Amino acid sequence: MSVFSGMSRPMKAAGVALIGVAIIAAVIGGISALGGGDGSNEAGPSGTSTQPGTSGGTSTPPSGTASSTPPSSSTNSSSTAPSSPAPPGTGQPTSPAPGQPGQPSGDQQASNKWVTVRVFNNSTIKGLAARAANDFRGSGWNVTEADNYSQGIIPATTAYYRPGTDEEAAAKQLAQEFGFKAEPRFEGIKDASPGVIVIVTNNYESHPKGS
Q: List pLDDT tens digits, range 5-18.
A: 555 566 666 666 77
Give the chain's mean pLDDT: 72
Which letter, b or e, does each residue of 56-90 get, where b requires 16 or more Cβ atoms within 10 Å of its Cβ? beeeeeeeeeeeeeeeeeeeeeeeeeeeeeeeeee
pLDDT for res 82: 44
For residue 143, the SS3 value is: strand
Between CA 118 and CA 208 the distance in angstroms is 17
174: Cβ contacts below 8 Å, ≥ 6 apart: 117, 136, 141, 159, 182, 196, 198
| CA neighbours closer than 13 Å in the CB half-sphere of residue 85 | 3
Residue 159 host element (H or E): strand 158-161
Strand 158-161 to 196-200 pairing: antiparallel
**Domain ranges across the chain:** 114-200
Between CA 159 and CA 198 the distance in angstroms is 4
| pLDDT tens, position by position, 118-174 | 999 999 999 999 999 999 999 999 999 999 999 999 999 999 999 999 999 999 999
Record the pTM.
0.50
Q: Is 114-200 a CATH 3.10.290.20 domain? A: no
CA distances from 161 to 31, 186, 192 (A): 125, 9, 10
pLDDT for res 110: 72
Model confidence at 178: pLDDT above 90 = yes
Between CA 186 and CA 114 the distance in angstroms is 23
